[in-house]
Amino acid sequence: MKPGDRVTVQIHPMKDGSRGGQYLTATLPDGRTMQGGDLGLPPVAR
């Protein structure tokens, strides 16, 4: 990933509708998907 790359991020929104949410996945420009764990683990490239 480099500055300017378009990345699609999927999040689980906050229950109260405020800004933010839980990070689920990110899809990189080359199609790879990165996902973080529920335990605060670093993202894993797939």
In sequence order, what are the residues at sequence separation of 6 or more whose Cβ sits closer than 8 angstroms to the Cβ of residue 20?
11, 14
Rounded distance between C-alpha atoms, residue 1 and residue 11, angstroms: 19
Confidence (pTM): 0.60
Q: Are 23 and 33 in contact (CB under 8 A)?
A: no
pLDDT in tens, 2-39: 899 999 989 889 999 999 888 888 888 999 888 865 44
pLDDT at 1: 75
Closest residue by Cα to residue 35 from 17, 10, 43: 43
pLDDT at 5: 92
